[in-house]
Amino acid sequence: MKYGRSYNFSAGPAMMPEEVLEEIAAEMMNYHGSGMCVMEMSHRSPVFQEIRDRAEADLRKLMDIPDNYKVLFVQGGGTTQFAMVPMNLMKNGVACYIETGAWSKKAINEAKKYGEVQIVASSADKNFTYVPDCSQLDIPDNADYVYICENETIHGTTYHQLPDTKGKVLVADQSSMFLSRPCKVSDYCLIWAGVQKNVGPAGMAVVIIREDLLREDLPQFVPTYLNYKTHADADSLYNTPNCWSIYCCGKVFQYLLKHGGLEAQAQRNQEKAAVLYDYLDKSHLFTAAVAPQDRSLMNVPFVTPSKEQDAAVVEAAKAAGFDNLKGHKSVGGLRASIYNAMPKEGVEALVDFLRKYENAHC
């Protein structure tokens, strides 16, 4: 790779498109004749306003976001959304969650602080290696919303079909699959995504929320900053926003538009993931952990027969220039995160490495 960069399989923060990094580097010292870097710029300046507005407009174009949805740039990463969702959406105090792994569990535990949580489907019985059938969910009439983590980063599962919420509000954490494939926004009422996997620098979430969910009448205890309406009313400039992240995310939105939009990106992601899964399914040393129909195209967990061998492969891979292949500490094994910016050559090179390792050790 150029600049001595390594193929970085981290689950996040993750690789950015090289073309985007080069553009950012070129604009670092003096953004478009403004005499300053975007990091140094007032968030109230016309030049930053233009950066923010363009980022939103480009995201709207990319995802074809309907006019009755607001786009918000909110600080606090993904984790803040675990609290903001129940704080803002629990009116009756009852919410349904689908439990598919570590990130939905975190969301569930946070929501329990604000009301009653009903787990209406779970894949805990098989260590979260599949997505449960969500076609016949038992959703109470007074449920305020149904919540999913659409791609479980640690376990490597993804929904290929959305749950039937019986007309209730659907909320999705799309952090680890945001902008990886076309998405019909009107199928959801709220989509949120921490940006540090597929879009930009950590610390911010993009929230896409249907306007009728914005509320004046939140309980007193809800901090002003954690009311979605605060951000909607101020065009995400209520306080000093994460200007740098908004700028970098905007660059990635432009990049995706330039390279064929989400259809083309989905095609590239399918091809990349197929290279890895095809190899894993034929391998005598490695096994892909997830049921084929529920596999993520972004996070690919796999194992060898022993923990010792898992660790040995991670170490050998690192020495060969493939970084961050260790599985999450809660599940072990290996995991290759192959987000939008991972080039196909990176996955092909990894497979080549794994094949040679297998031939040498089997």
Binding positions for ligand PMP, rule: CB under 6 A = 12, 77-79, 103, 149, 153, 173, 175-176, 194, 202
* Cβ at position 12, least distance to ligand PMP in Å: 5
* Cβ at position 167, least distance to ligand PMP in Å: 26
Tell me how far apart the alpha carbons of residues 25 and 48 are, in angstroms, rounded to a whole number: 17
Q: Which is nearer to ligand PMP, 62 or 74 (CB)?
A: 74
Cβ atoms 337, 298 nearer than 8 A: yes
Q: Which is nearer to ligand PMP, 12 or 333 (CB)?
A: 12
Q: Which is nearer to ligand PMP, 77 or 163 (CB)?
A: 77
Cβ atoms 187, 164 nearer than 8 A: no
Q: Name every residue whose Cβ is closer than 8 Å to that of residue 154 and which is 6 or more positions away in sequence.
A: 11, 101, 102, 103, 299, 301, 327, 328, 330, 331, 335
Tell me how far apart the alpha carbons of residues 322 and 345 are, in angstroms, rounded to a whole number: 12
Residue 192 designated active-site: no
Check 58, 70, 103, 310 and give the catalytic one.
103
Any bridge partners for residue 170, and if so which? 146
Q: Which is nearer to ligand PMP, 88 or 153 (CB)?
A: 153
Tell me how far apart the alpha carbons of residues 304 and 315 are, in angstroms, rounded to a whole number: 14
Tell me how far apart the alpha carbons of residues 99 and 289 are, in angstroms, rounded to a whole number: 18
First to last CA, the chain: 30
DSSP conformational letter for 2: G
Check 70, 105, 168, 197 and give the catalytic one.
197
* Cβ at position 151, least distance to ligand PMP in Å: 6
Question: How many alpha carbons lie under 13 Å from residue 95 in its C-beta half-sphere?
Answer: 30
Q: b or e along 23-49 (b: 16 or more beta carbons within 10 Å of the residue's beta carbon)?
A: ebeeeeeebeeeeeebeebebeeeebe
Integer CA distances (angstroms), 171 to 35, 67, 150, 163, 181, in order: 42, 18, 9, 11, 18
Q: Which is nearer to ligand PMP, 210 or 328 (CB)?
A: 328
Residue 197 designated active-site: yes
* Cβ at position 194, least distance to ligand PMP in Å: 4
* Cβ at position 340, least distance to ligand PMP in Å: 15
Q: Which is nearer to ligand PMP, 304 or 337 (CB)?
A: 337
Check 58, 144, 173, 310 and give the catalytic one.
173
* Cβ at position 325, least distance to ligand PMP in Å: 16
Tell me how far apart the alpha carbons of residues 190 and 88 are, in angstroms, rounded to a whole number: 11
Positions annotated as catalytic residues are 103, 173, 197
